[in-house]
Copies of this chain bind each other. A is one copy, B any other.
Amino acid sequence: MTIDDLMQAAPVIPVLVLDGEHDPVALAETLVEAGLRVLEVTLRTPQALDAIRAMARVPGAIVGAGTVLNERQLREVEAVGARFVVAPGLTESLTRAAMASELVYLPGIATAGDIMRGLDLGLTRFKFFPAEASGGLPAIRALAAPFGQVRFCPTGGITEASAPDYLAEPAIACIGGSWMVKKGMSLAAVGETAKRAAALSAS
């Protein structure tokens, strides 16, 4: 699997903060059934590693870890079966570890300097984070102009309402979002929201 395979497998990547409310396997089955195959489990809760291990066995699911900050965490999520890692920012240390591994790697950027450092290291696919707080679509358009070869996965503050505008942008391959799985939502509601997200089309 390449980073482009990952970014094209679904228009929206659910960013999951699992705190025990939903059973990870049932949640993964619901999202995959709805058409969202790429699942990012953030390392923000103690349950994350066990959830990745369990969800990775759900047929059709492509399960990875988010909020991966350093090589130690990369090794941990690799060991439990994560197939990709997402980082909020880009560091040379994590990038070298990720590129030496079998994991697909999506690091976050927010500035042109970040992108140039990524290009120097051989990367052309980046998370834009935090998307809304860093200037939203106008910022992505401005950053995309000098970097024709780059594609983005904006994440952070994107809603069901703003998702279509993001996905219509040529430089955007997919988006990350958390609106499909919120506290208090039933699995049925998750499934319905996820189906609408899966029906969005990337440009």
Q: A residues touching B (Cβ–Cβ < 8 Å)?
A: 42, 44, 66-67, 69-70, 87-91, 93-94, 108-117, 119-120, 129-130, 132-135, 138-139, 141-143, 145-148, 156-157
| CB-CB under 8 A for A133 and B129, given A88-B146, A146-B67 | no
Work out how many copies of this chain go into the complex: 3
Contact A116 B88 (CB under 8 A): yes
List the 10 closest A-B pairs by CB distance, nearest first: A89-B113, A130-B142, A89-B112, A88-B112, A133-B139, A133-B142, A110-B111, A89-B116, A67-B146, A88-B146
Of all chain B residues, which has the CB nearest A148?
Answer: B44
* Bound form: Cα–Cα A110–B115 in Å: 12
* Bound form: Cα–Cα A111–B135 in Å: 12
* Bound form: Cα–Cα A66–B147 in Å: 12
Minimal beta-carbon separation of A177 from chain B (angstroms): 13
| CB-CB under 8 A for A157 and B142, given A70-B119, A91-B113, A110-B111 | yes
A108: B residues at CB distance < 8 A: 112-113
* Bound form: Cα–Cα A157–B143 in Å: 11
Contact A69 B116 (CB under 8 A): yes
Minimal beta-carbon separation of A109 from chain B (angstroms): 7
Sample of 15 more A-B contacts, CB < 8 Å, known A88-B146, A112-B129: A44-B148, A88-B116, A89-B111, A91-B117, A93-B120, A108-B112, A108-B113, A110-B113, A111-B114, A112-B130, A113-B114, A130-B139, A130-B143, A133-B141, A142-B157
* Bound form: Cα–Cα A9–B128 in Å: 36
A selection of 26 A-B contacts at a CB cut-off of 8 Å is A42-B146, A69-B119, A69-B146, A70-B119, A70-B120, A87-B116, A88-B112, A88-B147, A89-B111, A89-B112, A89-B113, A89-B114, A90-B116, A91-B117, A93-B120, A94-B116, A111-B113, A111-B114, A112-B130, A129-B142, A130-B142, A130-B143, A132-B142, A133-B135, A142-B156, A142-B157
